Amino acid sequence: MEERGRYTREEILSQPAAWSAALEVMEAQRKDLQSVALGGYAQVIFTGCGSTYYVALAAAALLQELSGVAARGLPAAELWLFPRSSFVSGKTLLVAISRSGETTETVEACAAFRNAGLGDLLTLSCYADRPLARLGRWNLVLPSGQERSVAQTRAFTTLYLATVALAALWTGKEELTEGMKRLGDCGRSLLSRYGALASSLGGDETLDRFYWLGSGPRYGLACEVSLKMKEMSLSHSEPFHFMEFRHGPKSMITPSALIVGFRSSFQGAREEAVLREAAALGGRVVTIAEEGADVTLISGVDEAIRNVLYLPVGQLLAFERSLSRGLDPDKPHHLDAVVKLT
């Protein structure tokens, strides 16, 4: 009998190596990717479905922060079915993200975008021989993000890292591109330092609800880890922007609630205050931050490029809870690896 979660475990633990391989692909295509002139677009839209929609959210926030160019993250079905509420007048750069490269909504959204002549398309996926990788003016393929598990982990962080590398490249921030080479080692250190914490929280049967707080470029990442907890462990799990948590959701805090904060350096004091309030209301709180937290990244790299490091511990927590509940993280309830619509 196959070991439950065998593939998910391997995919989570191999992420640092996958990130380094992805950065090598980006470096090899640097010249071609440098031909993208952000100033020529009225807006940049990132799109995907499920996990890759959350990549899109995180990527858009970071690119706009670094470049000042208007950037949005939208689900592919919204672009496909409601284009008028998605596109503004003026040329758009569309960045379509998909692990499989064959999700119907994403492929259809790209085809409609091209047919309408709305701008230029860049695709980001993990399989060169699938439809999406043939649709773009630029097509980035990251094989190291390929997975056997249905729930994305390595694929998510690898595709997300590529969007961070694009933002650094397109804004000419060479120091960020250089700093990204250290992320593989930072990821390995995180996974070894916090495996035990993930296992103990994952096995804690007194927890029955999970809240993930992240703001700015980290909100999309909070959405992703919240989805992992749902997909893998069938638990109640929700993401919020930090300051939004006070406006209603905090009513859900009980001693059985775990609140995980992706605390930034930029607004760390205000974000920490939300977490202290949650603890004072009786919730269990885990803070993830560069330093002075329950989970310390200690990356030594710029905040703009270290956000990928918020993912691994949360992924492991969802993975461990799934196992402790007798589930198989490799085969999430009701889900398929790719959603194909007839």
Closest Cα partner for 87 from 42, 121, 124, 122? 42
Q: Which C-beta is closer to ligand F1P: that of 28 or that of 335?
A: 335
Q: Which C-beta is closer to ligand F1P: that of 101 or that of 202?
A: 101
Q: Interface with ligand F1P includes 12 (CB under 6 A)?
A: no
94: Cβ contacts below 8 Å, ≥ 6 apart: 44, 45, 47, 79, 110, 113, 118, 119, 120, 121, 122
Candidates 8, 64, 106, 237: give the one binding ligand F1P (CB under 6 A): 106
Do residues 220 and 249 touch, judged by C-beta distance below 8 A?
Answer: no
Helices of type H across 171-218: 174-179, 183-202
327: Cβ contacts below 8 Å, ≥ 6 apart: 4, 232, 233, 234, 333
**What's the burial of 55, exposed, middle or buried (CB within 10 Å: 0-12/13-18/19+)?**
buried
User: At how many degrees (to 10) do helices 6-13 and 154-170 cross?
Assistant: 30
Smallest gap from Cβ 48 to ligand F1P, in A, equals 6
* Run of H or E including 162: helix 154-170
Q: Interface with ligand F1P includes 49 (CB under 6 A)?
A: yes
* Number of residues this chain uses to bind ligand F1P (CB under 6 A): 17
- What sign for the dihedral angle of Cα 321, 217, 29, 339? positive
Site string for ligand F1P, 146-165 (x = CB under 6 A): ----xxx-------------
Smallest gap from Cβ 302 to ligand F1P, in A, equals 27
Candidates 52, 86, 215, 233: give the one binding ligand F1P (CB under 6 A): 52
Q: Interface with ligand F1P includes 103 (CB under 6 A)?
A: yes
Candidates 72, 99, 250, 321: give the one binding ligand F1P (CB under 6 A): 99
Output the six-digit token pair for 150. Answer: 């249905």
Residues 59-98 within binding reach of ligand F1P (CB under 6 A)? 98
Smallest gap from Cβ 105 to ligand F1P, in A, equals 8
Q: Which C-beta is closer to ligand F1P: that of 231 or that of 271?
A: 231
Smallest gap from Cβ 236 to ligand F1P, in A, equals 19
Q: Which C-beta is closer to ligand F1P: that of 51 or that of 177?
A: 51
Q: Which C-beta is closer to ligand F1P: that of 130 or that of 263?
A: 130
Residue at token pair 């330093």:
291
Q: Which C-beta is closer to ligand F1P: that of 50 or that of 184?
A: 50
Smallest gap from Cβ 227 to ligand F1P, in A, equals 7
Q: Interface with ligand F1P includes 50 (CB under 6 A)?
A: yes
Candidates 47, 92, 100, 123: give the one binding ligand F1P (CB under 6 A): 100
Which residue number has the CB closest to ligand F1P?
50
Q: Interface with ligand F1P includes 337 (CB under 6 A)?
A: yes
Q: Which C-beta is closer to ligand F1P: that of 56 or that of 316?
A: 56
Q: Which C-beta is closer to ligand F1P: that of 51 or that of 235?
A: 51
Output the six-digit token pair for 299. Answer: 């990356």
φ/ψ of 209, rounded to 5, equals -155, 145
Q: Which C-beta is closer to ligand F1P: that of 243 or that of 339?
A: 339
Q: How far apart are alpha carbons 288 and 82 in whole angstroms?
A: 37
- Amino acid sitting at position 297: L
Residue at token pair 């409601």:
82
Do residues 301 and 120 touch, judged by C-beta distance below 8 A?
Answer: no
Do residues 12 and 316 touch, judged by C-beta distance below 8 A?
Answer: yes
Footprint of ligand F1P on this chain (CB under 6 A)? Answer: 48-52, 98-100, 103, 106, 150-152, 335, 337-339
